[in-house]
């Protein structure tokens, strides 16, 4: 991206979101970094260069109020909101035999409803300028269909939530495209984030063996693609799901 942009990044206290915020700041963009706890954001980004270009926002993406407030903060602070990179999500490894309605609904509330709400909040500001780019996050698990359990793989609640992003992106891309707002998604494979901290060495080796590039993704590998999708280089991409998994064999 050439010109400085105002970008809202969710899930910014760790993993892909943190890598994304740091990359944007290094490229002289303006960032509103959002996560559940301000303390975690301070720990992850507080020492980042260019604090005059960084606002921290503690909020829950499953809250309509918090999503609206995060988008409004970008407009108040920087005069506009050019893009959203939405990485915030909850993981669930619970097997179907133990999954209850409360956990299932909470995962869907954050991962699906949260993706809609942050898009809705941002698009309401973007419409006036007839310009904007929004990137949501799915997962390769929606292709492989893991069943959860002891290995730490996503279970049915998580997989269903990430599969729902496909339909959400396609609907929103069609709805918002006429207003000049593009909506796409990144579909990461296994990535070195807190979500895989419980994976055993054996399970990690099995996953890595399926990847032709020979390694598990680093957060910045995924963040780089998200940043590409909000750039002018991707100006004619809309409604796409970009798989970023090192060429992993599915199954």
Catalytic residues: 158
Q: Which uninterrupted H or E stretch holds 10?
A: strand 6-10
Region for residue 96 given its phi and psi (left: phi exceeds 0; alpha: psi -120 to 50; beta: otherwise): alpha
Residue 38 to residue 56: CA distance in whole angstroms: 7
Residue 26, classed as helix, strand or coil, is: helix
Instruction: For 29-74, list the strands marked E by DSSP.
Output: 30-35, 54-58
Q: Which uninterrupted H or E stretch holds 220?
A: helix 219-229
DSSP state of 53: G
Instruction: List Cα–Cα distances, 130 to 109, 125, 126, 216, in angstroms.
Output: 29, 9, 6, 38
Residue 142 Cα to chain centre, angstroms = 15
Q: Any idea which residue has 């996560």 for tokens?
A: 35
């Amino acid at each position: 991206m050439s010109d400085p942009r105002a970008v809202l990044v969710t899930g910014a206290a760790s993993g892909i979101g943190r890598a994304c915020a740091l990359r944007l700041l290094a490229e002289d963009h303006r960032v509103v970094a959002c996560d559940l706890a301000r303390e975690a954001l301070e720990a992850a980004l507080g020492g980042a260069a260019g604090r005059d270009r960084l606002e921290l926002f503690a909020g829950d993406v499953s809250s309509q109020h918090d999503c609206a407030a995060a988008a409004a903060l970008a407009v108040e602070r920087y005069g506009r909101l050019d893009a959203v990179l939405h990485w915030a999500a909850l993981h669930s490894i619970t097997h179907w035999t133990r999954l209850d309605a409360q956990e299932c609904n909470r995962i869907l509330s954050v991962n699906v409803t949260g993706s809609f709400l942050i898009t809705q909040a941002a698009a309401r500001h973007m419409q006036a300028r007839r310009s904007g780019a929004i990137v949501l996050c799915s997962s390769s698990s929606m292709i492989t269909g893991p069943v959860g359990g002891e290995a730490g793989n996503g279970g049915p609640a998580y997989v269903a939530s990430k599969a729902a992003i496909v339909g959400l992106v396609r609907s929103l891309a069609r709805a918002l495209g006429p207003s000049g707002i593009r909506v796409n998604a990144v579909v990461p494979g296994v990535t070195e984030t807190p979500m895989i901290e419980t994976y055993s060495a054996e399970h990690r080796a099995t996953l890595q063996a399926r990847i032709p590039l020979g390694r598990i993704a680093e957060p910045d590998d995924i963040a780089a693609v998200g940043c590409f999708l909000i750039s002018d280089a991707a100006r004619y991409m809309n409604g796409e799901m970009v798989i970023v998994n090192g060429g992993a064999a599915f199954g």
